Amino acid sequence: MTFFCLLCSPAIIGIPLPLGKMIAAEIALVNNFIWNEAWTFNDLKHERSIGLELFDRFFRFQIICFVGIILGIIAIKFLHSAVGLNLFYANICAIGIATSWNYLLNYYLNWGVRKR
């Protein structure tokens, strides 16, 4: 959210919304992947290896989350333009939508969590 505000606020940097959202989201994605590996799915470490599989997981994470970014951009544009919601509140809603998408798909498809 901080990077989004810095990048998209006309008073600060003021770059176009889609570009600012994509840059801010990519920063968040790298951060989230690191935390998912280190903490969220830490209990699965014994089931995965590091090295090429780590890069494979990161690539799949990026692909899944790219769709989440697109969903977030659509949500922001709709909530801001059509509904009239403040740009930054619209981004909070978009983050919620993208987070749900990203978590569910990565939970099942990327880290391979299955019902036991």
What is the per-residue pLDDT for 116? 46
Crossing angle between the packed helical segments 87-105 and 52-77, to the nearest 10 degrees? 140
Give phi and psi for 36, each to the nearest 5: -60, -45
What is the per-residue pLDDT for 67? 92
Examine residue 92 and state whether it is found in any structural domain, yes or no.
yes
What is the per-residue pLDDT for 43? 66
Examine residue 50 and state whether it is found in any structural domain, yes or no.
yes
Grade residue 90 by pLDDT with cuts at 50, 70 and 90.
very high
- Average pLDDT in the 52-65 region? 87
- Where do the H-state alpha helices sit in 1-116? 2-8, 17-35, 52-77, 87-105
Instruction: Give the CA angle between residues 92, 102, 79 to the nearest 5°.
Output: 30
Nearest Cα residue to 77 out of 42, 103, 85: 85
Q: List the single range of 14-18, 27-31, 89-93 with lowest mean pLDDT.
A: 14-18
Examine residue 13 and state whether it is found in any structural domain, yes or no.
yes
Examine residue 115 and state whether it is found in any structural domain, yes or no.
no
More confident position, 48 or 97 = 97
- Whole-model pTM? 0.68
Residue 29 has pLDDT above 80, yes or no: yes
Q: How many CA atoms lie within 13 A of 24 on its CB side?
A: 25
Nearest Cα residue to 56 out of 99, 111, 114: 111
Q: By residue range, what is the domain housing residue 30?
A: 2-110
Examine residue 116 and state whether it is found in any structural domain, yes or no.
no
Q: For the chain, what is the domain count?
A: 1
Measured distance CA(31)–CA(28) in Å, rounded: 5
